Amino acid sequence: MTAESLTTPGQGAEYADTASEAYRAALRVIESVEPRIAEATRKELDDQRHSLKLIASENYASPAALLTMGTWFSDKYAEGTIGHRFYAACQNVDTVEALAAEHARELFGAPYAYAQPHSGIDANLVAYWAILATRVETPGLAEFGAKHINDLSEADWEALRAKLGNQRLMGMSLDTGGHLTHGFRPNISGKMFHQRQYGTNPQTGFIDYDAVAAAVREFKPLILVAGYSAYPRRVNFAKMREIADEVGATFMVDMAHFAGLVAGKVFTGDEDPVPHAHVVTTTTHKSLRGPRGGLVLATEEYAPAVDKGCPMVLGGPLSHVMAAKAVALAEARRPEFRTYAQAVADNAQSLADGFVKRDAALVTGGTDNHLVLLDVTSFGLTGRQAESALLDSGIVTNRNAIPADPNGAWYTSGIRFGTPALTTRGFGADDFDRVAELVVEVLKNTQPAAGPNGPSKAKYTLADGTADRVRSAAAELLEANPLYPGLTL
Ligand code: DSN
């Protein structure tokens, strides 16, 4: 497995040369108008090439997917859906959207796919409103003997609106690894639904399915959400569906983080959400390695309502991004993507083992997906201090809450690491063990420091020489596994 085979599947040097020419030309065009943007674009590639990117939600899309975004599809309005637009002359957008949806359906084995969401939050909003439309609005209209909401009297419409705003949602809590869009109060999902959250077992950090079932039986949500952004373990979606079915809840899975592992057949059977959920949402830019955006997959029952996502909750589709989604999804259907996805999971295992053997505390004691959550209180640090010290040393991560976090969601007590990006560069298991060694070296050499007003959760000191030593060790790993090999600007 080489970085080349991972980033530019099956394309080789000729592909890199062609992409180099395209980028050089594009940068010259940009430079002629606003040279500072051309400069920032060059610098961003340089920075990404020279840092250890361990943010679990980031990756490197292929030049093909990235180049696809820079076209005149950006200029077209196409509100509506395939073959049913509110604007004229959408024939080419229809082609693009249909191809993106076709690749998504084939890749995930889903009956229906919707490629318009601009982000994961948008995808979740489309899903929530599609479920509300299917489960509450349509039967409500039937009760009132109406075909369309515009046919309702003011009083009936108010009654239906009250019903739409009086539904229940249950998802995983943010501090145990869930996402803010899964019913976190400060997010719109926590405001538009009566919400309650399930957590993980306080002793083990794992999902306790009996506890989830008990909470669901008591709360009886309309929607049960599974999926996570910082839970380092697999989920049994078959079990979660059984729990949802017991109370008649619609089962929705947000697979944004692990869509690449589903696409790459690392998660199969009970761990593949698609056969078990009514609605599945994802982003396309994380482990799936496509452009920044979202997708919704759905059963036939929910498809018609999902298809109305724009203009229900979405602005006009980003057709240039949908085109790039089609390209990236086509890449993910190639056999190389399965090799990549398996390497993502194997590398996470190696990273976790590397931490454990160096006595660093991990939430749940390890991982069996693409991410690792390190409890940095074992180093006497907050997540904020650890994140900054690592960044000083060329290691890009993000601080993250751990279960029952004593430092809250801003300073946090954890650092989240993910393997999708560096695996794209070609990093293997030994490289990730070395990454664990470098991280531990930085954290052992970091001390909390006081600010002008006393103890601080942000200030720290890093022992002299540590940042330079770690940066140069990281540079060796990065040079051995170049980003976009052969691409020159
Ligand atoms: N921002 C993403 C993440 O980092 O997990 C989720 O929205």
Question: DSSP assignment of 455-475, as one string?
Answer: EEEEEEEE-TTHHHHHHHHHH
| 319-356 pLDDT tens trace | 999 999 999 999 999 999 999 999 999 999 999 999 99
- The pLDDT value recorded for residue 12 is 77
CA 486, chain centre distance (Å): 28
79 annotated active-site: yes
Q: How many CA atoms lie within 13 A of 378 on its CB side?
A: 15
Pocket test for ligand 1, best of 184, 257, 398 (most atoms within 8 A of CB): 257
For ligand 1, atom 4: residue with the closest CA: 57
**Which secondary-structure segment (H or E) carries 414?**
strand 414-418
Residue 444 scores a pLDDT above 80: yes
Q: For every residue of 300-338, which 3-state class applies, written as one string?
A: CCCHHHHCCHHHHCCCCCCHHHHHHHHHHHHHHCCHHHH
For residue 57, report the distance from its CA to the centre of ligand 1, in Å. Answer: 6
Given a cut of 60, whether residue 360 has pLDDT beyond it is yes
Q: Is 174 annotated as a binding residue?
A: yes
178 is in an annotated binding site: yes
Q: Residue 1: pLDDT band by 50, 70, 90 thresholds?
A: very low
pLDDT at 455: 87
Residues, the chain = 489
pLDDT digits (tens, 9 = 90+) for 21-39: 999 999 999 999 999 999 9
3-state secondary structure of 18: helix
Is residue 283 a contact partner of residue 168, using CB atoms and an 8 Å limit?
Answer: no
Mean pLDDT within 98-120: 98
How do strand 112-114 and strand 80-81 relate by DSSP bridges? Answer: unpaired
C-alpha 229 – ligand 1 centre gap (Å): 6
The crossing angle, in degrees rounded to 10, of helices 429-444 and 466-480 is: 170
CA-wise closest residue to 141 among 160, 158, 163, 121 = 160
Smallest CA separation from ligand 1 atom 1, residue = 57
Our answer on whether the CB atom of 120 is closer than 6 Å to any ligand 1 atom is yes
Query: Was 182 annotated as part of a binding site?
Result: no
Q: Which pLDDT value is given to residue 2?
A: 46
Whether the CB-CB separation of 340 and 6 falls below 8 Å is answered with yes
Q: Where are the beta strands (DSSP E) in 279-389?
A: 279-283, 294-298, 371-375
CA pair distance 371, 260, nearest whole angstrom: 13
Beta-bridge mates of residue 375: 414
- For the segment 362-416, what is each residue's pLDDT rounded down to a tens digit? 999 999 999 999 999 999 999 999 999 999 999 999 999 999 999 999 999 999 9
- Please determine, for residue 6, whether its predicted confidence score (pLDDT) is greater than 70: no
300 labelled binding-site residue: yes
Separation of CA 121 and ligand 1 centre (Å) = 10
Whole-number Å distance, alpha carbon 257 to ligand 1 midpoint, is: 8
Q: Which of 68, 134, 176, 283 is the catalytic position? A: 283
The answer to whether the CB of 397 is under 6 A from ligand 1 is no
Centre of ligand 1 from the C-alpha of residue 254, in Å: 12
Average pLDDT over residues 244-261: 98
- Residue with CA closest to ligand 1 atom 6: 229
Q: Is 17 a catalytic residue?
A: no
CB 52 within 8 A of CB 471: no
In the numeric block, the tokens 């759905």 are attached to 298
Q: Is 53 a catalytic site residue?
A: no
Nearest CA to ligand 1 atom 3: 57
Catalytic member of 233, 286, 325, 457 = 286
Task: Give mean pLDDT, residues 62-91.
Answer: 97
The percent of residues above 90 in pLDDT, for the chain, comes to 95
Residue type, 252: M
Condensed to tens digits (0 to 9), the pLDDT of residues 158-175 reads 999 999 999 999 999 999
Average pLDDT, the chain: 96
**Domains of the chain in sequence order:** 91-332 (3.40.640.10), 335-480 (3.90.1150.10)
Give 326 Cα–ligand 1 centroid separation in angstroms: 22
In this predicted structure, the answer to whether residue 8 has a pLDDT above a threshold of 70 is no
Residue 434 pLDDT: 98
- Ligand 1 contact, 134 CB (< 6 A): no
Atom of ligand 1 nearest to the CA of 398: 4
- 7 pLDDT tier (thresholds 50, 70, 90): low
96 neighbors 73 (Cβ within 8 angstroms): yes
Please give the average per-residue pLDDT across 289-296, as a whole number: 98
Q: Tell me how far apart the alpha carbons of residues 402 and 404 are, in angstroms, rounded to a whole number.
A: 6
Summarize the confidence of residues 145-169 as an average pLDDT.
96
**399 catalytic residue (yes or no):** no
The verdict on whether residue 102 carries a ligand-binding annotation is: no
CA triplet 284, 174, 126: central angle to 5 degrees? Answer: 45
